[in-house]
Structure 1
């Protein structure tokens, strides 16, 4: 009875989350609260066992760091300066913005990156009288692909990194970076060629662009130097995690607190906290509670047993099945709750005799992050960009996005299948 109820609450909440008719965070929290009221688990269990406070703290800290840095105008400066350097060439601008977005998503996170670059892109495309859809589509794809490469680039990776201690920032970059680069370059070649005829440069508009002064967007104060230094030190701390043995959350929290202290006189802490994406944080909390209900009643254990049964405990088959299942499901629903549900499942595999489950973690990360490109609700970055576009009266059609997203995901999964098989599964099969 308990299992049926927990599953029902989980599924119903999922349906409401997908419909987007009611705030997603509110739905997730309501579902979690219902599990508490019906005593599926206790408040103590929720707080101590199921809500991953390390992930919440890491996200919060990065939001604080980027919120303060954004106030300096450095991100707007970079975008406009680059547009001028490529002389307003539409194709070069598309490629350049894609690279900036991918790198930004890898070093910060994809949601933060699109929040920074999309408004600037609207300014530039409006000035140059260019269609916005090719740029928005490319930004979404670049954000999700770039975010796949690092531990902090995409929320699913953050969750995996927090759940598996030995998977460090450099581990993600080493294992996922090569395949991400291949997929990113392939995507870039396709979009730049496909939209080339729509991207026509207008001389008058380019002249207006050159009259813009990038430096005018910079806030001339100590805060700009403080922000850049602290943000850089935080990223270096992530990279040096295996050497300094300080966990990622501690590094991020330390960086956020330090920057808040340094900039308190110029920017009140209250104002910084007002710009934190609280809805996103509470959405995560609610999702952790929903998945905790499934763990409490044994659904996760049963799911792990079923996958082991379906694949006969074969590591190569399990890895490839996980890659494709996560990639396909992430096109239909947001990848965050799916990864939250699968993390304990993979952990259960070790109790069934799988000694090395790292290939499963990489398969899950690749499938969930890249699968998010399939639809407008597949990843958080997609939802954010769609909302910004609608606010500018340049709404992205769900099916218009699907036309490009689904083929990209299928291509990505095929390439990842080859990569996972050659890099991880062949050595396993040959006992290396």
Structure 2
């Protein structure tokens, strides 16, 4: 009964979120309330369990970075970067999108995807405002690039950290095996931008010429505060990048960083808290509880196990099936416990495959599916949800289906490229 109820609540909530008949935060909290009220999960599972509870590391990472961004916004640095980017693109929306996409993808390889999105979104909104063009295509393109770029390294995306830990894979292992395919995917995605976002690049020549005459240095309003923000951000980023060497969770870095910056800046609480997207944080909390109910009742584990058994001992079939299943799961259910459940099953499969190259390919297949699959729907990755929340607060809301139509196309493109890469590298030349 608990299993049926957990599935029913998640499906109904997903339908409401997808159709946008009700506010997604209200739906997520209501779904969480139902599974708690009917005993499918309890407070210990929802609030304290690593496997089935709210991922507080994600919540507090978001909170800390939102506060930092709120303070940083007061310096005028986002306006500076926006004018600089628009001028480097010579007022061309397509060149501007390519520039912002490349910056986002590269940054996401070394920072948490959510952090990158929180920093790039204000710049994008200002670029589009200066050029008087719709920001939605740019925001969607950037978050898709974030999920692609984050696949390149051990620390670029949360699933990579889990997979690296379970498989004993190092930072260098990810660089050697994942960075080449991510580079190929990024080139393909950049070439596809004109087609995926066709109709989004018209701009008034007079507005573009006006931007070219602006002096970006005049945008900086508080140089002293900018220096303080720069020092704190540098320390925070260094701790993020050093995560693979020193096991400190990003949330433990972001929250103290936010606190130190608030003390140094002496900004009023109403100013730095104004940038916190409380609805997004609550949406995540509700979603985590509903997904935790699916994990607790064994739904996620059973699905993964069925997929693992379907391989029939064939290494190539196993690699391709894991790629497809992990892509679909990541697109529908963005949750670290999902990958915590998938990893032991992949580990068991590797023990039945004698060829080291073939067995290692299972892990890279899982990583690629987990990372690229996050682009499939609007709730497929944490960065997607954050970007949608930022867009809504800016007055340029992105609908579930608008994102998903673009994201599904990019997911299909990336998976179609990843499949032959895995075959060629680990089975033909491996």
The equivalent residue for 2:255 is 253
1:262 aligns with 2:264: yes
Matches within 5 A, 1:254-403: 254-263=256-265, 265=266, 267-312=267-312, 314=314, 316-328=316-328, 333=332, 336-337=334-335, 340-350=337-347, 354=351, 359-360=361-362, 362-374=364-376
1:410 aligns with 2:412: yes
How much does 1:247 deviate?
A: 3.8
How much does 1:34 deviate?
A: 1.9
CA contact (8 A) 2:80 2:216 kept: yes
Corresponding residue SS for 2:21? coil
The equivalent residue for 1:98 is 101
CA contact (8 A) 1:113 1:143 kept: no
CA contact (8 A) 1:54 1:162 kept: no
User: 1:35 & 1:28 partners in 2: Cα distance?
Assistant: 11
CA contact (8 A) 2:80 2:217 kept: yes
User: 1:168 and 1:69, CA in 2 relative to 1: closer, same or farther beyond 3 A?
Assistant: farther
User: 1:132 and 1:38, CA in 2 relative to 1: closer, same or farther beyond 3 A?
Assistant: closer
User: 2:192 & 2:27 partners in 1: Cα distance?
Assistant: 38
User: 1:305 and 1:81, CA in 2 relative to 1: closer, same or farther beyond 3 A?
Assistant: closer
Corresponding residue SS for 1:62? helix
The equivalent residue for 1:84 is 87
CA contact (8 A) 1:226 1:259 kept: yes
The equivalent residue for 2:57 is 54
Corresponding residue SS for 2:245? helix
User: 2:196 & 2:34 partners in 1: Cα distance?
Assistant: 49
State the TM-score, normalized to the length of structure 1: 0.79
How much does 1:37 deviate?
A: 1.7
How much does 1:33 deviate?
A: 2.3
User: 2:250 & 2:101 partners in 1: Cα distance?
Assistant: 27
The equivalent residue for 2:130 is 124
User: 2:149 & 2:138 partners in 1: Cα distance?
Assistant: 16
User: 1:384 and 1:47, CA in 2 relative to 1: closer, same or farther beyond 3 A?
Assistant: closer
CA RMSD across the alignment: 3.9
Corresponding residue SS for 2:369? helix
- Range with bigger deviation, 57-66 or 134-143: 134-143
User: 1:365 and 1:64, CA in 2 relative to 1: closer, same or farther beyond 3 A?
Assistant: farther
Corresponding residue SS for 2:310? helix
How much does 1:179 deviate?
A: 1.9
Corresponding residue SS for 1:41? coil
How much does 1:397 deviate?
A: 8.7
The equivalent residue for 2:189 is 187
User: 2:255 & 2:174 partners in 1: Cα distance?
Assistant: 21
User: 1:252 & 1:315 partners in 2: Cα distance?
Assistant: 41
Matches within 5 A, 1:213-228: 213-228=215-230
Corresponding residue SS for 2:66? helix
Deviations 1:54-91 (A, max 9, x none): 23223332333333223322122112123224433454
User: 1:406 & 1:283 partners in 2: Cα distance?
Assistant: 22
- Range with bigger deviation, 344-353 or 381-390: 381-390
How much does 1:234 deviate?
A: 1.6
Q: How many correspondences in the alignment?
A: 417
Q: Unaligned 5+ residue runs, structure 1?
A: none
How much does 1:96 deviate?
A: 2.0
Deviations 1:200-244 (A, max 9, x none): 786643431133232232222422112122212222222223334
The equivalent residue for 2:77 is 74
Deviations 1:161-214 (A, max 9, x none): 368646777765554333222111222233358989985786643431133232
Deviations 1:257-284 (A, max 9, x none): 3223222x1x124532342222222222
Deviations 1:17-54 (A, max 9, x none): 22222232332232222222222233123222122222
User: 2:225 & 2:412 partners in 1: Cα distance?
Assistant: 44
State the TM-score, normalized to the length of structure 2: 0.79
User: 1:146 & 1:268 partners in 2: Cα distance?
Assistant: 36
User: 1:353 and 1:105, CA in 2 relative to 1: closer, same or farther beyond 3 A?
Assistant: closer
User: 1:387 and 1:207, CA in 2 relative to 1: closer, same or farther beyond 3 A?
Assistant: same
The equivalent residue for 1:236 is 238
User: 1:24 and 1:354, CA in 2 relative to 1: closer, same or farther beyond 3 A?
Assistant: farther
User: 1:235 & 1:122 partners in 2: Cα distance?
Assistant: 27
Q: Unaligned 5+ residue runs, structure 2?
A: none
The equivalent residue for 1:146 is 149
